[in-house]
Amino acid sequence: MAGETAGYWCNPDVTTIISAKFRIAYTSLMDRTFIDRRATESDHLKAKEIAQAVLDGRTTVLEAVRELVSLAHTDAVAELEDRRFIIGVESETDHLPVGEVRKLWAPDALKEKDVEIARAEELYRADFLETCQRIVKTELLGRAK
């Protein structure tokens, strides 16, 4: 019978509404962009230095994301959407060898992963550059630059 789920009858219209509300509540509980702690002045400076290094071309997008992800759980990254973006990119690319860990990988395996790294760098670069610009422009602990 239509509307029956696991032996229980349910109104599909109501189930859809309840399901949507549950999904919203569940995903809001799963939001990993909460602020663990207030950033120190040193944290703010570190975030700005990393962001500036990306803008200057001294580091890659993925290397900077790896460095910024812990700071994205503080207010060193002021904008909620920037924190979500950094955490999301890190989550999507945490399997890729960037930075010092590359020394531990076999050359053949690196060749394969380098293709994925190049794709990820290209995919996230434009948005990440905008994120870095906002981080660099953020006032330090509420004081003017």
The DSSP H or E segment spanning 5 is: strand 4-5
Tens of pLDDT, residue by residue over 54-112, are 999 999 999 999 999 999 999 999 999 999 999 999 999 999 999 999 999 999 999 99
Q: Which of 3-7, 50-54, 69-73 has the lowest mean pLDDT?
A: 3-7
Residue 9: DSSP 8-state = E
* Total domains present in the chain: 2
Shared-domain flag, residues 10 and 64: no
- If one compares 8 and 65, the residue with the highest pLDDT of the two is 65
The reply to whether 45 and 78 lie within a common domain is yes
Residue 48 lies in a domain: yes
The secondary structure of 83-128, three-state, reads HHHHHHHHHHHCCCCCHHHHHHCCHHHHHHHHHHHHHHHHHHHHHH
Q: Is 31 exposed, middle or buried (0-12, 13-18, 19+ CB in 10 A)?
A: exposed
The answer to whether residues 56 and 119 belong to one domain is yes
**What's this model's pTM, rounded to 2 decimal places?**
0.73
